[in-house]
Structure 1
């Protein structure tokens, strides 16, 4: 099952500050819902473990996250894939773009993802709702992290 999501978040900091936070593994680990582990495994690659619950399906996903297509402090692409055992798999990517706006930074994101296994059997509405909730939770925590350093 494929899904797409996009949105934007206004942040009260310069693009340089937001860029630094987007590239800080400790900030990302604290902001990713259910993230238990995020460790750098190569220059622009991380090993990740996250526990997720979508409807009645709960699983621990292990995978990797790669950052690419850098244009500091304006944009990059984040790609990832994870296996959750019998729950299935998830893989996808997001482009993140930063723009100066209203004395702060507008973060614009576009996500494409695919899921399979038991997760894909839950239905499009439940999956999309859960994905939006997870994205909202990430960006709320990320905005708080940016505000804390502003």
Structure 2
């Protein structure tokens, strides 16, 4: 399946291209991207969690940049990459051949972005159909364009970008002064749980069990009486055994009948073959005898 798209971003081309190569910006902009890191300039790895037609997948993926050219002297920039991912739980895998281009727009403060994606899916995701995957891909593309436009308009990539910083999940530190000033709470005494006296059963089904406590009133708790398992009657067991025996006998009888029919067919075929051979021999001998008698006459 092949997807193409183009859109305009209110930022210069060099800044837009830098956002595409920045893992923090892409983690914020790609819907469902939970992890993304760049161990070296040409390789990325991460995890993508998304849903297509109520099928939720979580795929670890790698992206390898095969070709890249930055913006120089007003010339467009482009990058080519191959992305591979796999969800072992679903038995599905994905491969994406991507080409991205960034060129200057007529407005010097804007850029035009275009891309081509060739997507191949295998497994359960691949069986969903091109129309379903294409529709979900267009929804993801719309969300990506909105987020990426906001991130590029906010400034260059890096920790100072307000859009990237607002989406980053960072724990809120607790000030040291506030921690020192806070009074130390005294440990509350642990209340000992009263030890109940041995239960006294009245011994009748549906009666009450009296639980006495040294620090509380007497409480009546309904007694749980186990229900004995229902045993099958001998007549029912005999009927079940006879039914199983009849089934087995019918199965064996059917097999015996099949073998007997095969034996009769084989014997009959052999008898007919021998009969035909005997009749043919008699006719041949009769013709020979008739010729010899005619010659004698």
Normalised-by-shorter TM-score class: over 0.9
Is residue 106 of structure 1 aligned with residue 116 of structure 2?
no
Q: Which residue of 2 aligns with 1:82?
A: 85
- The whole-number CA distance in structure 2 between the counterparts of 1:36 and 1:89 is 18
- More helix per residue: 2
Q: Which residue of 2 aligns with 1:47?
A: 45
Structure 1 residue 67, shift from structure 2 partner: 2.0
Which runs of at least 4 in structure 1 moved beyond 2 Å after TM superposition? none
Q: Which residue of 2 aligns with 1:137?
A: 143
- Show the 5 A alignment for 1:1-150: 3-73=1-71, 74-85=77-88, 86=90, 88-103=92-107, 104-149=110-155
Query: Which has the greater radius of gyration?
Result: 2
Structure 1 residue 87, shift from structure 2 partner: 5.0
TM-score (normalised: structure 1): 0.93
Aligned length: 148
Structure 1 residue 78, shift from structure 2 partner: 2.4
Gaps of 5+ in 1: none
Structure 1 residue 29, shift from structure 2 partner: 0.6
SS at match of 1:118: coil
CA contact (8 A) 1:58 1:87 kept: no
SS at match of 1:47: strand
CA contact (8 A) 1:66 1:78 kept: yes
- Say what the alpha-carbon RMSD is for the aligned residues: 1.3
Structure 1 residue 79, shift from structure 2 partner: 1.7
Cα 1:131–1:71 shift into 2, 3 Å: same
Gaps of 5+ in 2: 72-76, 157-297
CA contact (8 A) 1:40 1:46 kept: yes
Q: Say which structure, 1 or 2, has more relative contact order (CA 8 Å, 6+ apart).
A: 1
